[in-house]
Structure 1
Amino acid sequence: MASAHQRSDHPLGARHAKSLRRHELRRQLLTATLAIAVFLVSCLAFAYSNLQGNVNRHDVDDLLGTDRPTRMDDDGEQEGPEDARAGSALNILVLGSDSRQGANDDGSDVGGMRSDTTMIAHVSADRSRLEVVSIPRDTLVDIPECHLPNGTQTAAEYDAMFNRAFALGGQTGDVAYAAACTIQTVEELTGVPIDDFVVVDFAGFQAVIEALDGVPMYIPEPVDDPSAHVSLEAGCHVLNGQDALGYARARYGVANSDGSDINRIGRQQQLVAAIAREALSIQLLTNPPALYRFLNAGTKTLTTGEWVGRLPNMAGLANSLRGIEPENIRFATMPFEWAGARVVPAADADTVWDNLLHDRPIDADITATGDEPTIDEPSSEEPTTDAATTEEPTSVRPSQEETTPACTR
């Protein structure tokens, strides 16, 4: 009987054991799923905290005073209180600092800080255009009184070199005060309100290039400038961080260069255009690992204003620009006239500033494609059928020979 009893219990015991195993498997699976979720959330939290911690943010509103340009809407009327940035045009001042302190020490014993490069980056309200206007650092401008950390103010200067504004405000080594003085000078020069600022130093610029694994770029003529630590043959290159920085800074050893800042502005714009092309070509914004590497490298040496330095704001702005076409990323230099070895704004500069102020497209020198902007010829309402005038319409798009060769890895 005992054997019969055992045989009758065996199927029930087996089913019970299988049920326990399934329960244990479900429990382990749930535990693993929760662990993965916690891990991912922790990684995201770490990434956010790490990236946000990289950025050195400063609120400079109190340093700019109240005598500032008034923002205009599309109808030329003063805007009401701003909400979130969506739907509003943005003007961000991008400054390249030539400070040789810390990681930027190149053994040159050059002290102080100056703005090696200054660009107004205008983002259109509909996020369809990004226009970048370079201001030559040798431009003669009026620099207003600027605040210093000890509560005093600098004296106003007239017909001073533009990059002196950064040096005046930053004479104590505080980048925020340097940026604030430059913003005041730009606003007085242009009448364009600056919403925020970004300062990138040499090390940060190199890190951005390295995070992209280099940038493909066509070099139209040899560059050999020992003072900028660069030597490049003409042709296609994948520039690493050091070569890209040297190419942007080179003043000598370039054909037809007189050693002035003006001659290198075009090269700097071509380089920034190449960076934009590379970021768009690898779909940086939709590749989280690559985007994290890029941001982690780029944000380590950034000094920014309060708004643009917040990662949610950076991410929101980047997301709204992700569909922008390379031909709608345009670069121009402030129209100028020579004044001895320096330059002064030309009359046409007022048109550029007015277009930025009213969020209208500007006339540009190149686009992120590396070519000149295409401007279609106006068409006639009643096209002629005369055989003598049936030629293809003239286009201002550069010919194949004039177009910058496309360089790939």
Structure 2
Amino acid sequence: MIVPRHANAPGPRASLTRAEEPPASPRHARALDRHRLLRRTGVGALAAVLFLGSGATFAYQEIQGNIGRHDIEDLLGDDRPSAVASPEPIDSKAGQPINLLVMGSDVREGASDVDGAGAAGEVKGMRSDTAMIAHVSADRSRVEVVSIPRDTLVDVPSCRLPDGTETPEQSDVMFNSAFQTGGETGDVGAAAACTIRTVEDLTGIYIDDFVVVDFAGFKNVVEALDGVPLYIPEPIDDPYAQVQVAAGCQVLDGTEALGVARARKTVGDGSDISRIGRQQELVAAIAREALSKNLLTDLPALYQFLDAATSTLTTGPYIGGLPTMAGLANSLRGLEPGAISFATMPFEWAGPRVVPSADAEQMWENIKADRPIDATLTGTGEAPAPEPTETTTDEPTTPPTETPSEDPTDDGVVTAAPEPTIPVCTK
């Protein structure tokens, strides 16, 4: 089905550890506290799934066990930007903005290398070809996602590894090499820590925590939603990404969605920049589909979605806790797709690579100040609505010139030409 639409502060750094939390209570008290926290969040169905019924305890432990959590505090060093101070929050960080670094882990199990480096098993080291800063505003009224191109030339600082060694500093290297550098010992947390240090040096933005999403988990999320509708402007036949999708409105299954997210060389201009645009459109479509479902009233569907969404997540200790996820989800419960916006770091070409442009600094400053950014896409699948312009009466306005028409139904009223439309797909 096709539906037409118009186109278009400094302060003490918050710890990632639990060192400042109250002393641990007995096991039964901790369980009771956790139950009360989830009930306070208002996510009643989530609480029901996790705590009620004969299999509830197992469900909670299974979903929490899906998430690999890494404490990377010691790997980040002391030379970091300052976090925004706030009173003790109700739901862990209420009243203050949150910056998460979301990375796609390029694990090619049984698939060809999307960039032509060879099949899975021939790819050496950890890779991350997708990195996004997800900014949640302090008032929880908006979420902004900024993609950093993997081909951005950056300086990668020295990164501390779990074995106690430190990597050498690197200058003018591709941004995604930071993940590979930190992951030299095979530790995903260290790979994320090195990427966080690189992002903080590049932007001056304090990153509160990280999420690494394995591509297999991405497939599972789409499958748990029974597919995601997306408009495909041109046919995709990419042997590297192992995907074939016809043009037009399609309901992508997990394998197809992953292929669309990974396809590059045979689509558009073949650049990573164009791939970022497709990835953002796909993430927006997933957000629309997830928000459109009444998961909180369908407990089996909620459990299936949570199990899929957490199946291959690797996070830091803050965002990886289910009570934290529930509290944040509750804070964002009124969020509409239009309040989710996407942008790509403003850049200039440097040969086949890119470097941040002057506009990138303004974007980083807006995020640090918790101001809206200039986005190019929203969760509705549309470009953001233009800001209303102020009009003055100092200068007389000239009415539009009427153009004669031979149309016998023309009443002489001049109207603006209709905006071009782009299909929005539904199931």
Give the Å deviation of 1:295.
Answer: 1.0
Runs of 4+ residues deviating >4 angstroms? 103-107, 381-387, 389-392
Higher alpha-carbon Rg = 1
Is 2:112–2:240's contact at 8 Å kept on the other side of the alignment? Answer: no
- Which of 226, 247, 254 pairs up with 1:241? 254
When normalised by structure 1's length, the TM-score is 0.82
Give the Å deviation of 1:181.
Answer: 0.2
- Which of 288, 293, 297 pairs up with 2:299? 288
Count of residue correspondences:
361
Q: 1:67 to 1:285 in 2, by over 3 A?
A: farther
**Amino acid of the residue matched to residue 145 of structure 1?**
S
**Amino acid of the residue matched to residue 88 of structure 1?**
Q
**Amino acid of the residue matched to residue 352 of structure 2?**
A
State how far apart, in whole Å, the 2-side matches of 1:285 and 1:341 are: 46
**Amino acid of the residue matched to residue 53 of structure 1?**
G
Look up the match of 1:215.
228
Is 1:250–1:264's contact at 8 Å kept on the other side of the alignment? Answer: yes
Give the Å deviation of 1:233.
Answer: 1.3
Give the Å deviation of 1:63.
Answer: 0.9
Look up the match of 1:88.
96
- Which of 100, 108, 121 pairs up with 1:100? 108
Is 1:285–1:318's contact at 8 Å kept on the other side of the alignment? Answer: no
State how far apart, in whole Å, the 2-side matches of 1:332 and 1:196 are: 20
State how far apart, in whole Å, the 2-side matches of 1:388 and 1:263 are: 41
State how far apart, in whole Å, the 2-side matches of 1:199 and 1:344 are: 24
- Which of 145, 149, 167 pairs up with 2:158? 145
Pairing 1:405–2:408 present: no
State how far apart, in whole Å, the 2-side matches of 1:286 and 1:62 are: 41
Q: Percent identity?
A: 63
Is 1:63–1:147's contact at 8 Å kept on the other side of the alignment? Answer: yes
Q: 1:171 to 1:386 in 2, by over 3 A?
A: closer
Is 2:105–2:128's contact at 8 Å kept on the other side of the alignment? Answer: yes
Q: 1:387 to 1:334 in 2, by over 3 A?
A: closer
State how far apart, in whole Å, the 2-side matches of 1:293 and 1:307 are: 23
Give the Å deviation of 1:116.
Answer: 1.3
Partner of 2:54, secondary structure, is helix
Partner of 1:362, secondary structure, is coil
Q: 1:193 to 1:262 in 2, by over 3 A?
A: same
**Amino acid of the residue matched to residue 64 of structure 1?**
L
Alignment of 1:119-130 (within 5 A): 119-130=132-143
- Which of 256, 274, 291 pairs up with 1:263? 274
Provide structure 2 residue ranges, at least 5 long, that are not aligned to the other structure. 1-50, 114-118, 403-412
Partner of 2:384, secondary structure, is coil
State how far apart, in whole Å, the 2-side matches of 1:230 and 1:175 are: 27
- Which of 341, 358, 366 pairs up with 1:355? 366
Is 1:285–1:319's contact at 8 Å kept on the other side of the alignment? Answer: no
State how far apart, in whole Å, the 1-side matches of 2:401 and 2:309 are: 53
Pairing 1:274–2:291 present: no
Partner of 2:425, secondary structure, is coil
State how far apart, in whole Å, the 2-side matches of 1:98 and 1:405 are: 31
**Amino acid of the residue matched to residue 312 of structure 1?**
P
Cα shift readout 1:179-207 (whole Å, capped 9, x = no counterpart): 00000000000000000000011111111
State how far apart, in whole Å, the 1-side matches of 2:197 and 2:111 are: 26
**Amino acid of the residue matched to residue 376 of structure 2?**
D
Pairing 1:44–2:72 present: no
Is 2:128–2:176's contact at 8 Å kept on the other side of the alignment? Answer: yes
State how far apart, in whole Å, the 2-side matches of 1:276 and 1:138 are: 26
Is 1:337–1:345's contact at 8 Å kept on the other side of the alignment? Answer: yes
Is 1:138–1:161's contact at 8 Å kept on the other side of the alignment? Answer: yes
Look up the match of 1:331.
342
Is 2:346–2:359's contact at 8 Å kept on the other side of the alignment? Answer: yes
Look up the match of 1:309.
320
Q: 1:56 to 1:151 in 2, by over 3 A?
A: same
Q: 1:356 to 1:285 in 2, by over 3 A?
A: farther
**Greater share of helix:** 1
State how far apart, in whole Å, the 2-side matches of 1:86 and 1:171 are: 36
Q: 1:293 to 1:400 in 2, by over 3 A?
A: farther
State how far apart, in whole Å, the 2-side matches of 1:245 and 1:95 are: 15
Partner of 1:99, secondary structure, is coil
Look up the match of 2:9.
none
Look up the match of 2:169.
156
Is 1:104–1:202's contact at 8 Å kept on the other side of the alignment? Answer: no
When normalised by structure 2's length, the TM-score is 0.79
Alignment of 1:28-67 (within 5 A): 40-67=52-79
Provide structure 1 residue ranges, at least 5 long, that are not aligned to the other structure. 1-38, 73-78
**Amino acid of the residue matched to residue 121 of structure 1?**
A
Of 377-386 and 157-166, deviating more is 377-386
Is 1:104–1:201's contact at 8 Å kept on the other side of the alignment? Answer: no
State how far apart, in whole Å, the 2-side matches of 1:373 and 1:390 are: 30
State how far apart, in whole Å, the 2-side matches of 1:287 and 1:168 are: 43
State how far apart, in whole Å, the 2-side matches of 1:46 and 1:157 are: 46
Partner of 2:399, secondary structure, is helix
Cα shift readout 1:25-52 (whole Å, capped 9, x = no counterpart): xxxxxxxxxxxxxx94433222111100
Look up the match of 1:374.
385
Alignment of 1:159-238 (within 5 A): 159-238=172-251
State how far apart, in whole Å, the 1-side matches of 2:240 and 2:108 are: 14
Cα shift readout 1:36-80 (whole Å, capped 9, x = no counterpart): xxx9443322211110011100111111111111134xxxxxx35
Q: 1:105 to 1:308 in 2, by over 3 A?
A: farther
**Amino acid of the residue matched to residue 134 of structure 1?**
S
Give the Å deviation of 1:327.
Answer: 1.0
Give the Å deviation of 1:222.
Answer: 1.2
More RCO (CA 8 Å, sep 6+): 2
Q: Please give the root-mean-square deviation of Cα atoms over the aligned residues, in Å.
A: 2.7
